[in-house]
Amino acid sequence: MSRTIKFMLNKQLDAIIKEEKNTVANLSNASALLFDQLSNINWAGFYLWDPEDDELVLGPFQGKVACIRIKQGEGVCGTAFKEQQSLIVDDVHLFPGHIACDAASQSEIVVPITKNGKQIGILDIDAPIKNRFSEEDRSMLEEFVAVLLQYIDI
């Protein structure tokens, strides 16, 4: 992803959500923006941490129906959340414990969302092709999450 696209995507996000205080509305528009602007993806959305149930719970997203709950440390999403580290998986079928919500998904990138030391959840993007995501995508999405964090208060 080029620097220009990354810059424009973050500027668009900022413009769309900066006047809105509702977290669900902002996460919804963020997932719609990613789904609309990124090529070769089939799912973009959020899982939010529910400390009472000790699980990630499906949040706003764009794409086909998804798994509703993911335990910490399970699958790509649960692992990224537990390790608090962005993960790029070139072939999800080779990832130990992969949770197949959509059989069409072949690769995945997950970015943890943390604000002021509080774990909020993860941003998850799936692609119907292998090797879709790069280190440049990771950097762009981590910056995207940083912009988003300015406007969400969970």
Residue 1 has pLDDT above 90, yes or no: no
Residue 154 belongs to a domain: no
Residue 145 belongs to a domain: yes
pLDDT digits (tens, 9 = 90+) for 56-115: 999 999 999 999 999 999 999 999 999 999 999 999 988 877 777 777 888 999 999 999
pLDDT digits (tens, 9 = 90+) for 29-45: 999 999 999 999 999 99
Residue 35 belongs to a domain: yes
User: In angstroms, rounded to a whole number, what is the distance separating the alpha carbons of residues 106 and 127?
Assistant: 6
**In degrees, to the nearest 5, what angle opens at C-alpha 86 toward C-alphas 17 and 32?**
30
> Are 126 and 41 contacting, i.e. CB atoms less than 8 angstroms apart?
yes
What is the amino acid identity at position 28? Answer: S
pLDDT digits (tens, 9 = 90+) for 6-62: 678 999 999 999 999 999 999 999 999 999 999 999 999 999 999 999 999 999 999
Residue 32 belongs to a domain: yes
Tell which phi-psi region holds residue 99, choosing left (phi > 0), alpha (psi between -120 and 50) or beta.
beta
Number of H helices, E strands in the chain: 4, 6
Residue 48 belongs to a domain: yes
| Global pTM exceeds 0.95 | no
Query: Comparing C-alpha atoms, which of 132, 136, 108, 102 is closest to residue 122?
Result: 108
Helix (H, G, I), strand (E, B) or coil at 86: coil
* Residue 62 structural domain: 3-149
Could you identify the residue written with the tokens 């900066």?
Answer: 18
**Domains identified in the chain, total number:** 1
Higher-pLDDT residue of 154, 110: 110
Residue 148: predicted pLDDT: 95
